[in-house]
Structures are given as structure tokens and as C-alpha cells.
A and B are shown apart, each in its own frame.
Chain A
Amino acid sequence: MTKTALAAVKRYRAALALLLIDAVLALVFPHFSPALIRNTWSNFAEMLSVLPPVFLILGLLDVWVPRQTVMRCLGPGSGILGALLCIFLGAAAAGPLYGAFPVAETMHRKGASYFNVMVFLGAWSTLKIPMAIFETSALGARFSLTRWVTNVFVIFVVATVINRVLPPAEKCVRTTDGNDGE
């Protein structure tokens, strides 16, 4: 009983420390505290509404999509088509970059190559179509189109460099569903 409680405290130590910082800051700067509560709350509300279906879809993909399929389409031998598919998958996504991490984990575990996972991360961060539409209306088509095209190039350069410089042992996406924690 106390052991599980202790383990829980340990797992949440970063979150608890931040809560403490929040409390101290709210006391020191009382006029900031409504905004602090509002921002923190809306953050949690937003993520907690989006994350459950995302994780459920990942679980379903896990049981339905066979490893061979992912391997063939996105694996080490998938070539330029695999990379382009990753660009497409990332661009079709919505949500902040940290939403891409669990998706990347499933992709990699199912056999997508590390290079392709990096391309996917890059595409998710910069090429999202819904975002590009928004960008175009705010900053103009020339701006967003130039940025989009330049970023396709940057994504490939960054993925290539990371793929080269990381030692093979580091080129993996850690599973978060248990025993290999740290």
C-alpha cells in the first residue's frame, strides 16, 4: 500500500514539483494566478479530450495492422515511397508535436525505419495541412507555400543527419507500455 503510493509519488515527481512551483508563483504574483489556473486547466482539458481516442486508435492499429504491412510500406527497404508516405501521414495530422510521439512509437514498433519515423516527425511539426491553411490566411500564400516547400527539403536533411550521427543503439523509439521505463 505505502509502496504503491511511494511509487506513484515517484512517477509524478516532476508534475508535483511543477504544482509546487505553480503554488509558490501564485502566492508571489497573486494577479497572475487566475491566468495561471485558466491556462493550466484549459491545457489539461484540451489534451485529456484528445489523447484518449488517439491512444485507442493506436491500440486498434496495433491489433489490426500486421507488422509485415508496415514493414513493407515504411520499413528500411521502402525507399522514397515510404518516406513520401510518411510526409503524407504527418501532413494529414492535426495537433501539437507531442501528439506525434506515441504515434511514432507505434510506427517504429511495427517496423517503420528510423529514418522514416524522423521524416514523419518533421512532417507532423511543419507540414500539417490544416495549419498551412490557417497560415495562408494569416500570412499569405507566398509565405506559407515557400515555408512548406523549404521545410520538405529541411525534413529530409535533418532526418538524414540524425540517421547518420546517432549510434545504432540510440536509433529506436522507446516503448512506454511497461517494463523498459528508464
Chain B
Amino acid sequence: MFTLALYLFAFGWLGLTYLKDRQKARAAVTKCCRSFFNIFPDFAAVLLLVGLMLTFLAPETIARLIGKSSGAAGMFLTSVLGAITLIPGFVAFPLAASLLKMGAGIAQIAVFISTLMTVGVVTAPLEAKYFGWREVLWRNGLNYLFAFFTALVIVKVVGA
């Protein structure tokens, strides 16, 4: 649905551009293809890595690992799992909700959600292509630490 809208928008715009200014349309398509094919090898690698990870560290495996984990050790475990895995939100949130029902604590789940969103170990090589390794280390490192801060705030507001 969303993808269809994206296609309609992109090609509609391209069509209008072509009608107004062929040169511009050509330039846009050239730019699009060049940047796409230049980054594609890196995307392919990341997608393969994500496929591997989803297989051997599937949501069910994560659920088993997190289970009733609690305390600081549980937070550490969930933070690491969140940082290295890459799970789409529509899988992650129901997973988090069921983990809560299984007995995991709010703090552990909050850390998991935060690191899942902000820290990307598997996507780090791709990020480095665009931003360089220093940025990757700082952005991921800071966000990893701040995940614990966010979790503490959530615990204060929502309650453990």
C-alpha cells in the first residue's frame, strides 16, 4: 500500500518533470541510477547479513533468551540483543508486548526497543560508507548509552 503510493508519487513526479523539462528528467534518472548502483553492493551485503541474523537470531530465539530476564544483567542482555539485531517495528512491538506478559521487566524491554531503533551493528558498514567510521562509533556508542537513560525515564513514568 505504502509502496504503491511511493511508486505513484515518484513516477507521477518524474512524468510531470519530463513534460516540463526533459533535460531535468534525464538528469534526475541518471542521478538516481548512479547513486543506486554505486551503493547497491553494500546494500546487498547488509541485506544478506540481516537475512542470516533473522534466521539464527529469530524473534522466537530472542523471546527465549530474554524470557523473564530482569535486573541489570537482563538490561545488559536485552541491550546487546537490540543493538545487534534488526527487527522491523511491526514485529518488534508485539514481540515486546508478549515478552512483558511472559514476565520481562519494563526497563529491559525499554532498553531493547531503544537499542533496536538506534543502534545498528549489522548496518554499521553501510552507515560507514555514508558517514565514516568515526561517526558510526560515536552515534551508535552514544545511543547505546542513552538507551539506558531512556529506559530509566520510562520506568519512572510507567513504573517497573
Interface residue from B13, B27, B41, B94 paired with A15 (Cβ < 8 Å):
B41
Q: Are B24 and A140 in contact (CB under 8 A)?
A: no
Question: Which residues of chain B have C-beta atoms less than 8 A from A39's C-beta?
Answer: 50-52, 54-55
Question: Which residues of chain A have C-beta atoms less than 8 A from B142's C-beta?
Answer: 157-158, 161-162
Q: Are A151 and B150 in contact (CB under 8 A)?
A: yes
**Contact bitstring B91-126, A, C-beta under 8 A = 1, else 0:** 001101100100000100110011001101001011
Question: Which residues of chain A have C-beta atoms less than 8 A from B13's C-beta?
Answer: 57, 60
What is the count of residue pairs linking A and B with beta-carbon distances less than 8 angstroms? 224
CB of A155 to closest CB in B, whole Å:
9
Q: Are B129 and A134 in contact (CB under 8 A)?
A: no
Chain A 88-122 interface residues, beta-carbon cutoff 8 Å to B: 94, 96-98, 101-102, 104-105, 118, 121-122
Given the known inter-chain contacts A57-B9, A101-B127, please indicate yes or no for A162 contacting B32, CB distance below 8 A.
no
CB of B7 to closest CB in A, whole Å:
5
Interface residue from A59, A125, A165, A174 paired with B129 (Cβ < 8 Å):
A174
Known contacts A15-B48, A97-B118; 15 further A-B pairs (Cβ under 8 A): A12-B44, A25-B52, A39-B50, A40-B51, A44-B51, A49-B3, A51-B36, A53-B10, A57-B10, A63-B28, A101-B129, A139-B100, A143-B154, A162-B139, A176-B130
